[in-house]
Copies of this chain bind each other. A is one copy, B any other.
Amino acid sequence: MRRMRSDVLTVRTGGSPTVRDLTGDCASFVRDAGDGLLSVFVPHATAGLAILETGAGSDQDLLRLIDELFPADDRWRHRHGSPGHGRDHVLPAVIAPSLTVPVLGGRLQLGTWQSICLVDPNGDNPERHVRLSFLSSS
């Protein structure tokens, strides 16, 4: 049985909410991979994935929106971790930890301004993992 190619990135996200661009890692992973689907998956209960333009303010805009939609206060029943951490556990319902991107000829079929980003609102985990898997057409 041919195995699906799959690998895990380690991403240092530090101690504050962050949007981290993973596009370079994803592009390297599928180079020479032919045609197929790239699955990007975050095996954490308090982070998600988004496809965004980065570097023009939208990453900060997203972090501010997250603070509005999911205030880090004591409204959440989930009370482990830092105060307000319960909000981090609801975020993946809205910003899901799973994305699929088509690949042709070893190239991600992203638009010009799209980047694949890890969205991590959780300052308690300074290091994160992201699983990349490629299911090829052949």
Contacts and interface: CB of A to CB of B under 8 A. Distances in A.
Interface of A: 1-4, 6, 34-37, 39, 41-45, 48, 50-53, 56-58, 60-62, 64-65, 69-70, 75-80, 86, 89-90, 92-102, 104, 109-111, 113-114, 119, 129, 131, 133, 135-138
A50 B102 CA distance: 18
Contacts of A3: 34-35, 104, 137
B97 A96 contact: no
A35 B1 contact: yes
Contacts of A2: 137-138
B45 A52 contact: yes
Nearest to A137: B4
Contacts of A135: 36-37, 135, 137
